[in-house]
Amino acid sequence: MVENENIMKVNLAPGIYKEVKEYCMIANIDENEFVNSVVNYFLDENLLIYDTMRKGYAEMSRINLDICDEFEVCEKEVGAQF
């Protein structure tokens, strides 16, 4: 089995890199552990936002269909007059 097959190189701005190093030293955690936890948090939050948006669009689609059904009769009446 190939070791380190899940390696991703990340380039950080010097200031951020320094803050990450300092934080990891103060918190006594491994830098890889820190980066993994930050990425997981970011993904979880964004997936939650996307899921909320998806549910909102699904709810709106039902409302839009109801509105279309309500006005279908009006459109038929207007069409019949021409």
Per-residue pLDDT of 49-79, as tens digits, reads 999 999 999 999 989 998 988 888 787 777 7
Looking at residue 57, its pLDDT comes to 92
pLDDT of residue 72: 84
Separation CA 60–CA 68 (nearest Å) = 12
DSSP assignment of 23-58 equals HHHHHT--HHHHHHHHHHHHHHHHHHHHHHHHHHHH
Distance from C-alpha of 31 to C-alpha of 74, rounded to nearest angstrom: 64
pLDDT digits (tens, 9 = 90+) for 14-52: 999 999 999 999 999 999 999 999 999 999 998 989 999
pLDDT value for 2: 61
**Is 4 a residue whose pLDDT tops 70?**
no
